[in-house]
Amino acid sequence: MNIFITGGAGFIGINAASYYLNQKHEVTIFDNFSRPGGKKNISWLKENHTGDIRVIEGDIRSDRKKLAIGVKNADLILHLAGQVAVTSSVIDPITDFETNARGTLNILESVRLSGHNPIFIYSSTNKVYGALEDIAVTESTTRYVFNTLRFGVAETRGLDFHSPYGCSKGAADQYVRDYSRIYGLNTVVFRQSCIYGPHQHGVEDQGWVAWFMIALSQGKQLTIYGNGKQVRDLLHIDDLLSAYDAAARHIKTTKGQIYNIGGGPKNTLSIWHEFKPLLERLYKRTITPKFSDWRPGDQPIYISDIRKAKKDFHWEPKVSVKQGIENLYSWTEHDYKIYAKTAVL
């Protein structure tokens, strides 16, 4: 198969490229290299794989000719490129919209006009559900707990965009779905929760699990926004890639569908009060962060209801939070430090 990955030099993209190269598929990466770590990720990929790797440097907002070339022979498209931070969307909503909404529409049009119909999986976000302010929660010593949602938030929940980022990703999310209904494209939407793992060059406003560990490795001060009891379900990158693969293999069922994809109720963590003990054990020291105000649209708790994915394409996470955190720690303490010493990230 020919795999076309937008945002292929980023965290999820580079792991996806490696995954499919290991399966002897051809991989084309489309990226504008605007995020730290992208070029080093490509270097790592080429050093560790001898398969068919093609890199197109381009921007989904404007390079429609390059997109047309990229999708022309694709069998599977993973659309991962995007503006990924809520805080950045608040500062610059125009760029956020142009990247996430318009950029996605550009890719969909390239596929529609290409004359063939590859599988198209879109990396959406749980932020399309907003702050979940109407859902009753209880605050315990270390975390927030849903009062009634035993399995987490399901796909049947209504959309409630609570930030420019939520709006742009939500618009793209609906375009991807509607291009299946109107034009018959083989599209699938993944509303992803917190994904983490190696090659995640996390920063403070995005990729918080990796950022905490990178910051600690570099001796930087951690800032916790809110009270630190916010809960997220965590999904290791290996489990996300197996979900992409399974959804593609079951495209007759998954076509035109939306799935909440995350660690689910069995793989959750409060962002500080439960994460702190894991970090202090790994780093063998006491960690004292500073606290700041809650950020716009921040959810006290978000857990994905992943039962639909299990039913439709027989997928569920296999990597536990403890295993995944230890795996990421090994990467940040070895590979990331090597990256940080190089001139080009």
**Amino acid identity, residue 241?**
L
The one catalytic residue in 19, 122, 129, 165 is 165
Q: Identify the helix (H) or strand (E) that includes residue 78.
A: strand 76-79
Residue 330 DSSP symbol: H
Q: How many CB atoms lie within 10 A of CB 343?
A: 4
Give the CB-side neighbour count of residue 262, counting CA atoms within 13 A. 28
Which whole-number Å values give the CA distances from 338 to 186, 217, 280, in the listed order? 40, 12, 23
- Tokens coding 24: 């002897």
Asked if 202 and 117 count as a contact pair (C-beta separation under 8 A), the reply is no
From the list 234, 110, 102, the residue with the least C-alpha distance to 169 is 102
**Amino acid identity, residue 203?**
V
CA dist 35 and 292 (Å) reads: 26
Indicate if 165 belongs to the active site.
yes
Report, as residue numbers or ranges, the catalytic residues: 165
